[in-house]
Amino acid sequence: MEYDLQDIRSFVKIAELGSFHEAAEVLHLSQPALTRRIKKLEQGLGTPLLDRTTRRVSLTSVGRDFLPKARRVLDDLDDSIMSIRELAERQTGQVTLACIPTAAFYFLPSVIRLYNKQYPKIRIRLLDLSANEGLEAVLRGEADFGINMMSGQHPDIEFLSLVNEPFVLACRRDHPLAMRESIRWAELADYRLIGVGRLSGNRMLLDHALAGLGWRPKWFYEVQHLSTSLGMVEAGLGVSAVPSLAMPTADHPTLVSVPLIEPVVNRSLGLVRRRGASLSPAADKFVSILLQQWPQ
């Protein structure tokens, strides 16, 4: 016969407290429900375990013999569960995440630092890839999860939005536009624009968002990475439209950002996972810390 562990726990608790009433309260059961558990256990064993009177509950001789065995069964189970949990907590291993470079450079270090402090034995492999490459890495299982842009829905990808950030104009502090409170996209027609390639997720987002304008940006310089475009801006070669997370801190000696309007273009960054895939305990802990920290 298969014995119900809850029935055994109920028997042990009654034996310890010497009262059906007190045991029922501790176990959050009604007394009739607790009585049914004990009757089922006694029927399965084929012998009474408890002697009941109106005033007290005592163990039968079989009950006294069974009590230490029941405790040992429950203790062994609890120890086994604790060992599994401790293994998950202390495990060595690796977490692999695919992240677009802007989030990898400006946001993830603080999350990684906190994660390493809590789980020093788990290594982290960071794939700083373009939006398209990062999505493919998650789909192929090369990364446990990723941080990416929401640029269309893939049927095998789950997307959890973390933050919406606007595109801003990056320019030098000595540039004529640097002191403006905001700049309309159409006003950029007279300036040399530095943009990313046509296949970039940021470029495709901008092209779609600005398609309705009578004017379209003419990218004088074209690069592959936002960091390269910022380097060219810092060198005085032009201005660039970049997501706000890509900008250095406000106290940067050379670069400054100015809001772009009419229209305001935002990109949504979030956590991407393969639909239906389970995370390892190590990856799941990283995601928990990530969700707590973003966007602090």
Tell me the three state secondary structure of residue 12.
helix
Q: Do 244 and 167 form a contact (C-beta atoms < 8 A)?
A: yes
Residue 87 is predicted with a pLDDT of 57
Q: What is the pLDDT of residues 176-209, one digit of tens each?
A: 999 999 999 999 999 999 999 888 888 988 988 8
pLDDT band at 295 (very low <50, low <70, confident <90, very high): low
Write phi, then psi, for 121 (nearest 5 degrees). -90, -5
Average pLDDT over residues 281-293: 87
> In the block, which residue shows the tokens 């159409």?
186
Name all domains of the chain by residue range, CATH numbers in brackets: 5-87 (1.10.10.10), 91-162+269-293 (3.40.190.10), 166-266 (3.40.190.10)
User: Under DSSP, is residue 84 helix (H, G, I), strand (E, B) or coil?
Assistant: helix
Q: Could you tell me the CA-to-CA distances from 273 to 98, 102, 150, 160, 269 in Å, in that order?
A: 10, 19, 12, 9, 13
What's the sign of the alpha-carbon dihedral 38, 41, 46, 48?
Answer: negative
pLDDT at 296: 45
* pLDDT tens, position by position, 23-59: 899 889 998 999 999 999 998 888 999 988 767 788 9
Asked if 17 and 11 count as a contact pair (C-beta separation under 8 A), the reply is no
User: Is the whole model's pTM more than 0.75, yes or no?
Assistant: no
| pLDDT band per the 50, 70, 90 thresholds, residue 250 | confident
The per-residue pLDDT for range 75-107, each reduced to its tens digit, is 888 777 766 666 555 566 789 999 988 777 766
